[in-house]
Amino acid sequence: YGLVWVFGINDVGQCCFPIIEKKECSIPIPIQELKKFVISQIETGKKHAMVLTDTGIVLSWGNNQCGQVLYLFDTLMLSYIY
């Protein structure tokens, strides 16, 4: 097990925090919700991110303006959809 760390602008939840809590992560912060998973792969976009677990589960968060965080599919959302 390891931690996934995020930092940067969080204007649409791309750091996996609701924007009402944090608008920006100026220092790296671990995503606590991912601690229980073994992450095999991480992919990022301009305003969203996805991880693949060792059991094949895709977890995604951030901007969903064009459906890029798979909101229409069977995917666990870790943050709000904007």
Q: What is the pLDDT of residues 59-79, one digit of tens each?
A: 888 887 777 776 544 344 454
Cβ atoms within 10 Å, residue 17: 20
More confident residue, 33 or 68: 33
Residue 80's pLDDT is what? 36
**Which of 5-19, 23-37, 46-60 has the least mean pLDDT?**
5-19
Q: Where are the beta strands (DSSP E) in the chain?
A: 5-9, 24-30, 39-44, 48-53, 58-62, 76-81
Distance CA(37)–CA(2), nearest Å, equals 8
**Residue 28 binned pLDDT confidence (cut-offs 50, 70, 90):** very high
**pLDDT cut 70: percent of the chain above it:** 77
Q: CB–CB of 50/68 below 8 Å?
A: no
Distance CA(52)–CA(37), nearest Å, equals 9
The whole-number average pLDDT for the span 23-48 is 88
Residue 41's pLDDT is what? 92
Q: Whose CA is closest to 81, among 6, 9, 16?
A: 16
